[in-house]
Amino acid sequence: MYYQIEQVLEQYGVENVQTYKGRGVLICECGSELLALKEFRGSQEKAEFLYLLGEYLKEQGMETDGLRKTVEGDYTAEGPDGVCYTMHQWFKGKECDVKNRMDIMMAVSHLAKFHTLVSGSQFHFQNKGRKKETVLSEYSRHNKELRKIRNYIKKRRQKNDFERLFLKCFPDFFEQCLKVEEALGMAKDQAAVGREGICHGDFNQHNIIFGRADTAMIHFEKAKSGIQISDFSNFMRKIMEKYNWEETLGMSMIEEYNRINPISRQDFVQLYYRLAYPEKFWKIANHYFGASKAWISGRNLEKLQKEIQQHRSRCHYLECLLRRL
């Protein structure tokens, strides 16, 4: 295995390095420089896009794990096993601590700064052969999947604790799902679509690094053209779930994002709909349906119980947001 990696490193002109595993990467210490090798499963077009995006953000003064070219000028390097790799700039520092509110606000402001730099950007990328999905079509698909899962569980003769609880809470959650789908369907196009640009695609507490001198955003593998507020709504939902949808924290996150990157009415409407849709409930159901039904993890039941417990807090926060629309 090491011999294969050594051959890949040679394609980048990297020699005599110390390597150790990081989160999804192989970190390479080259004297004072820190690099990271990642397996790459995308197309060459995607690799080029990531390189150009990294170079552009670097010119704008934003630190990222920018993609490095090989000695031959290629965006990827192929190992003896046929696996493709990309090499990236890397950083020492700590991830965003979700228990630290200052860390959360710093992450929000950095995301907002990133969005301002690539809003309406000259860089565009959409996976070939994959139709661009609107939030309405995404939630319509989720609702069909939820109906399918509900019907499947109903037909099961012997139901476990998870399945019984799922059927009991399904009407309340699914009512929210349908309301969001209906509202998006009735909304005018300009009211239901937020500002477009480059999205990180997977922004979370693990993909922001706080160093001594600067902050770096990493792991852009899912970056693409899209509605930028989706990055913020996904991050915000994950944080709010950890804080039982605390109103003060939620409003502070919105205010901090708005301070750096003013939120238009269209973006705010988009943010509201994305938070109003019970995404966690769908994820729990989808995970259950994709797993073995012969043995249901107790963790699934715990997650569903927690989601039910947070339902009232979440609805209260959504009412506060609605008053701002």
Q: Which amino acid is at 105?
A: M
Reported pTM? 0.91
Buried b (16+ CB within 10 A) or exposed e, 230-242: bbbbbbbbebbbe
- Mean pLDDT, residues 115-144: 78
Q: How far is CA 228 from the centre of its chain?
A: 11
Q: Are 273 and 183 in contact (CB under 8 A)?
A: yes
List the structure tokens of 252: 């502070």
Q: Is 114:207 a contact under the CB 8 Å cutoff?
A: no
Write down the pLDDT at residue 178: 98
For residue 84, give every residue at least 6 positions away whose Cβ sits within 8 Å of its Cβ, in sequence order, or none: 39, 40, 41, 76, 77, 78
What's the one-letter identity of residue 147? R
pLDDT of residue 33: 86
- Helical pair 265-276 and 135-155, crossing angle rounded to 10 deg: 10
> Minimal CA–CA distance to 272: which of 262, 263, 280, 281?
263
* pLDDT at 212 exceeding the cut of 90: no
Q: What is the pLDDT of residue 116?
A: 96
Q: How remote is the C-alpha of 166 from its chain's centroid?
A: 26
Q: How confident is the model at residue 129 (pLDDT cuts 50, 70, 90)?
A: very low
Give the model's pLDDT for residue 189. 55
pLDDT, position 138: 94
Rounded distance between C-alpha atoms, residue 261 and residue 142, angstroms: 30
Helix and strand numbers, DSSP H then E, in the chain: 12, 12
At 218-265, the pLDDT tens digits run 999 999 989 999 999 999 999 999 999 999 999 999 999 999 999 999
Token pair listed for 9: 């490193």
Length of the chain counted residue by residue = 325
Where does the pLDDT of residue 271 fall: very low under 50, low under 70, confident under 90, or very high at 90 and above? very high
Distance CA 117, CA 119 (A): 6
Q: What is the pLDDT of residues 70-101, one digit of tens each?
A: 999 999 999 988 899 999 999 999 999 999 99
The pLDDT score that the predictor gives to residue 16 is: 77
Averaged pLDDT for residues 272-299: 87
Domains annotated for the chain, with CATH where assigned, are 2-90 (3.30.200.20), 101-324 (3.90.1200.10)
The pLDDT tens digits for 149-208 are 999 999 999 999 999 999 999 999 999 999 999 999 887 554 557 788 999 999 999 999
Supply 150's token pair: 């509900």
pLDDT at 135 over 60: yes
Report the mean per-residue pLDDT for the chain: 91
Q: What is the CA radius of gyration of the chain?
A: 22
Per-residue pLDDT, averaged over 118-134, amounts to 64
